[in-house]
Amino acid sequence: MKPDKEPTTKDNGAEEHSYYRPAVAVDVLIFTIINEKLRILLIKRGIEPFLGKWAIPGGFVRENESLEETAIRELAEETGVTDIYLEQLYTFGEPERDPRGRVISVAYYALVPSGKVGVLSAATDVTEAKWFPVNDLPELAFDHRQVIDYAIKRLRWKLEYTSVAYSLLEEEFTLTDLQRIYEIILNRPFDKRNFRKKILSLNLVEPTGKKVVRGVHRPAQTYRFKKRQLSLVEIT
Amino acid sequence: MKPDKEPTTKDNGAEEHSYYRPAVAVDVLIFTIINEKLRILLIKRGIEPFLGKWAIPGGFVRENESLEETAIRELAEETGVTDIYLEQLYTFGEPERDPRGRVISVAYYALVPSGKVGVLSAATDVTEAKWFPVNDLPELAFDHRQVIDYAIKRLRWKLEYTSVAYSLLEEEFTLTDLQRIYEIILNRPFDKRNFRKKILSLNLVEPTGKKVVRGVHRPAQTYRFKKRQLSLVEIT
DNA sequence: CCAAAAGTGTTTGCTCTACACCCATGG
DNA sequence: CCATGGGTGTAGAGCAAACACTTTTGG
C-alpha cells in the first residue's frame, strides 16, 4: 500500500519514505444544448472559498475507483444519466489553484443529448445546479473559467474532426437537428446542401425510414447514427 | 492545508474528514530520432515490482511544484536538456496499475531534437537508461506499453496536423531533414516535390541563406522555423 | 393559398497526387 | 566523369464552396 518508486526506478534511494500526497479530484464538465445554446452544468458553492460562486461539479477519487469511474459516478450523481459520451480533458495541478491546499484535478467532459435535458435540470434542482450558456457564464470559482474555455476549444475541435456531435442528439434525429448542433457549437452557419452532402458521404448515418412532422411544413426524414461508437481519429 | 470540498460543493457533508489520497506521479515519455528511428528513453528498474523490466522515467510530484514543473524536472534529471517541446498526454489512474498501491500518473511527452541526442545518451549512462526504437521495445513495467502506444498515436496525429515536427530538429535544418522526420514517424514515404511545396506554402519556415554540404553531392539550403511556437490547433 | 422548413445539383476553384529530369559537389 | 542527394513544374482528380428553387404540410 505504500508505493516507493513507482513508476520509475531511477535509483536514488532518497525517496523511500512516504511521498507527498496531494488530494486528487475529478471534475466533470457536462455540456448539452438547450434552447439553441450550448450550456454547461454548474453548481453553486455553499462553503468557502468562493462561497456563492459557481463551479464545475466534481469530487474526490475513492480507493479502488478509476478516474473514469469517478467521473461516471459524479455524472450520475449530478444528472442521473449514464451511458453518455465522456472523455478525459486535462489534468490541472497548479499548486495554488485551491487556496486551502494542493488539489490535483483531472477534468473530464461529458456530452448529454439535448433531449434528456428536461429530466436533468429537474433532477439537479435539489442541489443548487443550473445550466449556463457557455457564452454567458457567471463568476466562477477556482480556475474553472480557464478549464471551461479549454473544454470548449476541445469540443469545437472534436466536432470538426470526429463524430462526437451525435452524442448530443437522441437516437433518431433529422439532418437539420444535426446541422443545428454544428452551427451552435461552432458559431457559424453551414450551407444546407453542402452540409447534407458531406454528412451523407461520410456514411455514418442511415435513414430510419420514419418521418417526423415538427411544425407547419414538410415532414423530415429521421436518421440514426450507424455505429454508436465514436470518431475516426480516436486520439484525443 | 486540508481541502474539504474542492472543487465542488455538492453539500452532502459526509466527506468532511480526510480524503483518500493516492500518490501522484508524473511520467515523461522522451522521444527523439537517432539513426533514422524514432526512439524513446527508458530506464531499467532496479527494484520490485518489475525488477529488471524497462519503464518510462518518472517521479512523484512535490509540494509546491506544478505537474509541468515536475515533468520539466524529471526531463532535466534524465537527459540534462531544458527548453524542449513538452505536452501533457493523459492521466492514468486505474487502481491496479501499480501492484504496491494506488498511483495516479500524469503522463507527459517530450520531443528532443535529434542533434542533442549524443549528449543525452552519454549523460544518461549513469543511471541505466537507453534509447529504444519504438518498434522494438523491450519488456515493459506496469501498463507502460499502452502508455507508449497512446503517445505514439498522439505524436503521429500531431505531426500531421500541427508543426511539432520542428521540435525534433535543430535550429537550422534542410527540407530533406524535415521530410525524413515525417517519413520515420509516419512510416511512409513522401514525394519530395509535393512535400517541399506543401511545407513552403505553409509559410512556417524561412531560408537561412546558408548552405550546408553533407556528402558528395549538391549542398542543401538550410531553413529555420519562423516562430519557435507551435501549432495552429493549440488544443491537445 | 400562405408560411415555413425539407429537400435537391451543378459549376468553380483549390488542394492533393503522380510523375522525371537537371544540378552541384567530392572524389 | 561518376555517384549522390538537392532542387524544380505541370497536368489530372477529387474535394470544398457558392448558389436558388420546388415540395410538403397545417392552418
Give the pLDDT confidence of B167-218 residue by residue, as tens digits: 999 999 999 999 999 999 999 999 999 999 999 999 999 999 999 999 999 9
At B12 the pLDDT is 36
At A119 the pLDDT is 60
Give the separation between CA B54 and CA B140, rounded to whole angstroms: 5
User: What are the distances in angstroms from CA B141 to CA B35, B93, B218?
Assistant: 26, 15, 47
Residues of chain A contacting residue B100, judged by C-beta atoms under 8 Å apart: 1-4, 6
The three cell numbers locating residue A65: 475507483
In this structure, is the CB of residue A217 within 7 Å of any atom belonging to strand C?
yes
Give the separation between CA B27 and CA B57, rounded to whole angstroms: 6
Chain B residues 17-36 with CB within 8 Å of chain A? 19-25, 27
Quickly state the pLDDT bin for A171 (edges 50, 70, 90).
very high
Spatial CA neighbour of A19 closest among B94, B61, B101: B61
Query: Does A159 contact B at CB distance below 8 Å?
Result: no
Kindly report the bases of strand C lying within 7 A of a protein C-beta atom. Answer: 3-10, 16-20, 23-27
In this structure, is the CB of residue B209 within 7 Å of any atom belonging to strand D?
no
State yes or no: pLDDT of A16 exceeds 80.
Answer: no
Full pLDDT tens readout for chain B, 236 residues:
333 333 333 333 333 336 799 999 999 999 999 999 999 999 999 888 999 999 999 999 999 999 999 999 999 988 888 889 999 999 999 999 999 899 999 999 999 997 786 665 555 445 688 999 999 999 999 999 999 999 999 999 999 999 999 999 999 999 999 999 999 999 999 999 999 999 999 999 999 999 999 999 999 999 999 975 444 333 33
At B8 the pLDDT is 38
Report yes or no: B181 and B33 within 8 Å, Cβ to Cβ: yes
End-to-end, the C-alpha distance of chain A in Å comes to 32
> Residue A86's CB: how many other CB atoms inside 10 A?
18
Contact assignment for A19 to B19 by CB distance below 8 Å: no
Establish, for the pair of chains A and B, how many residue pairs have beta carbons separated by less than 8 Å: 198
At A29 the pLDDT is 98
Query: Does A145 contact B at CB distance below 8 Å?
Result: no
Report yes or no: A49 and A99 within 8 Å, Cβ to Cβ: yes
At A118 the pLDDT is 60
| Site of grid cell 444535426 | A178
Give the separation between CA B27 and CA B75, rounded to whole angstroms: 9
Amino acid at B67: L
At A1 the pLDDT is 34
Report yes or no: A153 and A160 within 8 Å, Cβ to Cβ: no
Preferred mutation among B4, B6, B62 to probe A, highest tally of A CBs within 10 A: B6
Query: Could you give the percent of chain A with pLDDT greater than 70?
Result: 84
Give the closest of B2, B44, B58 to A7, CB-based.
Answer: B58
Assign B157 to helix, strand or coil: helix
User: Does A138 sit behind a cis peptide bond, omega within 30 degrees of 0 on the bond before it?
Assistant: no
Nearest chain B CA: its distance from A19 CA (Å) = 7
